[in-house]
Amino acid sequence: MDFDKVINMRYSVRKFSDKKVEKEKIDKLLMAVNLAPSARNSQATRVIVVQDTIDKMNELTKCVFGGNVLFIICAKKDNLVTRKYGEIDASIALTHLVLAASNEGLGTCIVGMFDREKTTEYFKMEEDLVPLLFVTCGYPSDDSKPIDLHYNRKDISEIAFKESLENKYER
């Protein structure tokens, strides 16, 4: 798919159809994660793919939204603590995943509202990993549409500057 289309089509999907996400597509999404850059190529992001037991994930978050796959994005603790780039690396990897999903015609919603303690316990992460974000994923239901927040975008001149902070960037 054209990259502009991939970016423009993406929105947070909060209503999914029952259609199963094919393993080949999940593999492609994970390849995209694997190709993400990371500080000093640390590759310290870990992803747990939950599909068969996704119903259990409703105990950890209210935001599965009927998705067919849930990705649990985690950082290795040592990358978070000593090198301090764990969250940044994971965010980039997650962005690759979300855009790769959009390219495959899949919908996603990034989910920060989950129970971190229960998640750590459920997946027995203990010393090694910290769960950072969930991504729920699947085929959007026929009546899925973006909520108003999606359309509420600032003008480029509010977020970008030219040469110094005194000059707004004008398109």
Ligand X SMILES: Cc1cc2nc3c(=O)[nH]c(=O)nc-3n(C[C@H](O)[C@H](O)[C@H](O)COP(=O)(O)O)c2cc1C
Query: Rule CB under 6 A: which residues touch ligand X?
Result: 11-12, 14, 63, 109-113, 133, 146, 149-150
Task: Give the C-alpha separation, 109 to 104, whole Å.
Answer: 15
Query: How near is the Cβ of 86 to ligand X at its closest, in Å?
Result: 14
Query: How near is the Cβ of 76 to ligand X at its closest, in Å?
Result: 19
| Shorter beta-carbon distance to ligand X: residue 21 or 98 | 98
Query: How near is the Cβ of 108 to ligand X at its closest, in Å?
Result: 9
What is the SS3 assignment for 57?
helix
Tokens coding 12:
């947070």
Task: Give the C-alpha separation, 140 to 17, whole Å.
Answer: 6
Task: Give the C-alpha separation, 81 to 70, whole Å.
Answer: 26
| Shorter beta-carbon distance to ligand X: residue 88 or 110 | 110
| Shorter beta-carbon distance to ligand X: residue 23 or 145 | 145
- Residues composing the chain: 171
